[in-house]
Structure 1
């Protein structure tokens, strides 16, 4: 995002320097240093920057973003040696309103449990888990990895940071920490009720005094979407779902050039040919003007999935597929104040015979009705590595604010002017 360029020309030599901000400079012999911000690729992208340049961990993933009551931005993600490694912890960076830069990553939560901690049992900590030793080499604790933080600003209340602890996805338990000062400091961790995971990747929505956490599971029953709901600002929780889903053939079972079978009357015959209920996870929630809620989900079926609720999330329609490509990677979505809907996603459909697609390009699409989507902006399109797991909100300033994984090395932030579309 910034160029620092040293140039040295020998005697009796001239040259012309072309800089990324459009400037051209003629220079003669001697030494020169040029320092210039690299402009964004589109005028709609007002800011394009990393949350941090250096950190104590080499990899990061699973970013989330929220805006506090006073307009500060708070972002969180997990970072460690590598995803699933027991040293993965939850980190937070803040960008106070009006600030030019983000604060350095601050540890907000970890998966370390002292040997006599009663919460260790809830997390499934046992003698097989990674030991933590003191300076004398004695085991004083054991740990598991942290995953997928999700920030949620309770209207008029605390900033909550949900996250998961586990060896792998099927081992996850749900936890949270709270901040009463806009993400500067965090409480001790609290477990969610047994069997509850919290929002699995994307932000909850607050509808009519109800917190609706979009959640999902991955296990022997396949990928299933459900919702964890609180009508008392998080004191107690109840579950809605898992949702039923129409049949579809996962991409890894489709022959190259084959047609996706989706026959509701096919029964076991279709299932024997490879069709299963749509494998959907990681829902995000849209709010329609008529009061309906809609979800958009990641799938293993080459398309984004959707479902609808007419009663604030208590019951839902069957999960179906939209004509929007999905590469079996995370998406996020938000409903704007003007009623339009925004989706951030990798605009690539997983190819038949393969389980996943490349996590590039990373794009923004807009819809008036949640059904027909128009791509309007590309944030990343390099074939190098991945640009994935985005989180997006509309700020009090009317701008879009998004964070996402940049090559697993850093978390990138972009501010977008939605009036350009």
Structure 2
């Protein structure tokens, strides 16, 4: 097993970063969803990765462009989330068609015990293998990080390897590669179900850094949360002059945000983004034209149920600076029992945007967008 550094990088509150944080929660949590009819022409294609599967439920998809321009996706599927039979499934998008999903990982242990798998994240290493990160464990409070690699675009995989204790890998959304070649992985921990305390939030963001192409990792300190914002599952956006922004799911009715000006080693205290969030996973990506794109549920939490809200509609948000966001397109709006959730997004080398997300916990939807028509 590759040696993992346990060195903790400086915490740093980042109060003097020069990038303003956006208010306090809830930020526009009660705003009505703005249906993006003007952006509907941006949808190039929409369909499901599969129509039938040998399991009743699925969730937490991830999508990536592999070497050679072929897209691939993974997700977890089984009886239901947390069931020990939940496994990681993988498919390729070839010639406009998704291949049949194949099981590539499970939670079976050497002693015969079996745990559910969680939250796969596909990452194409620059000029290297396709990497699959995922979690195994009975719940998010006690899971651990796993990793597998494929030299041939997901046709064959290495044996799974457990990451060293304390290194979870990307929790939901993909790592980014910085200008100097550093891999920056967005991660988080869930310490409990409370809504925060006087000493800080129970959900905490942190980041994992590799300067040797994933052979070893260093962990940042947890991001400070003086407003007791419970945030997890960050995505990383890049801005001019090397600035980085993390945007994350939160319990308090709006999306959370933090900034770094030193390559992700220290981060500013968590503030709010002016988009609502019903405590549901999101993903975000910096487009090749410099705009920031977010896939999210444009809904706040329910007043009678703090930290919980509907996972519909599902929307596309755009921003020029990561501070001011606009809802430009509604991907889904019809209420379903389990809604539309846990999106993943990537811009391919041809410029088109590929999005996957959970559709009512029964299928994975794949949507292709033309960014030139998102205004």
After TM superposition, the structure 1 = structure 2 runs for residues 34-183 of structure 1, keeping only pairs within 5 Å, are: 42-96=40-94, 99-115=95-111, 141-183=112-154
Matched residue SS, 2:216: coil
- Partner in structure 1 of residue 269 of structure 2: 318
3-state SS of 1:82 partner: coil
What's 2:10 paired with?
none
Contact kept? 1:367, 1:373, Cα under 8 Å:
yes
Q: State the secondary structure of the residue aligned to 2:109.
A: strand
Name the TM-score, length of structure 2 as normaliser.
0.85
- What per-residue deviation string (whole Å, max 9, x for no partner) do you get for residues 371-405 of structure 1? 10111111100112210000001000101101000
Q: 2:309 aligns with which of 343, 357, 360?
A: 357
Q: Tell me how far apart the structure 1 counterparts of residues 120 and 271 of structure 2 sit (CA, whole Å).
A: 27
Q: Is the 8 A contact 1:326 1:348 kept in 2?
A: yes
The alignment partner of 1:43 has SS state of helix
333, 355, 380: which one pairs with 2:332?
Answer: 380
1: CA distance between counterparts of 2:125 and 2:160? 17
Query: Displacement of 1:73 after TM fit?
Result: 0.5
Asked if structure 2 preserves the Cα contact closer than 8 Å seen for 1:246 and 1:320, the reply is no
Quote the offset at 1:42 in angstroms: 2.6
**C-alpha distance in structure 1 between counterparts of 2:131 and 2:118, whole Å:** 15
Q: Deviations over 1:37-93 (max 9, x none)?
A: xxxx93211110110111111100000000011000010000000000000000001
Q: Does the CA-based 8 Å contact 1:227-1:240 persist in structure 2?
A: yes
The counterpart of 1:245, out of the listed 208, 222, 225, is 225
Which one of the candidate residues 355, 367, 370 is aligned to 1:414?
Answer: 367
Q: CA RMSD in A?
A: 1.1
Distance in 2 between the 1:113 and 1:280 partners? 30
Show structure 1 runs of 4+ deviating over 4 A.
Answer: none
1:216-231 equivalences in 2 (<5 Å):
216-220=188-192, 222-231=202-211
Structure 2's unaligned 5+ residue stretches are: 1-38, 193-200
Compute the displacement of 1:283 (Å): 0.3
Answer yes or no: is the 8 Å Cα contact 1:93–1:103 preserved in 2.
Answer: yes
Aligned partners of 2:231, 2:109: CA distance in 1, in Å? 32
Give the structure-1-normalised TM-score: 0.76
CA apart distance, 1:289: 1.6
Deviation of 1:339 (Å): 0.5
What CA distance in whole angstroms lies between the structure 1 residues aligned with 2:128 and 2:275? 36
C-alpha displacement of 1:233: 0.3
| 251, 264, 279: which one aligns with 1:328 | 279
Q: What secondary structure is seen at the aligned counterpart in 2 of 1:171?
A: coil
Q: Which residue of 2 aligns with 1:269?
A: none
In the alignment, the residues of structure 2 paired with residue 79 and residue 234 of structure 1 have an alpha-carbon distance, to the nearest angstrom, of 27
More strand by share: 1
How far residue 241 of structure 1 moved from its aligned partner, in angstroms, is 1.9
Whole-Å separation in 2 of the counterparts to 1:353 and 1:228: 36
Alpha-carbon offset, residue 114 of structure 1: 3.2
Say if 2:188 is the partner of 1:211: no
- Bigger Cα Rg: 1
SS at match of 1:113: coil
Structure-2 residue corresponding to 1:402: 355
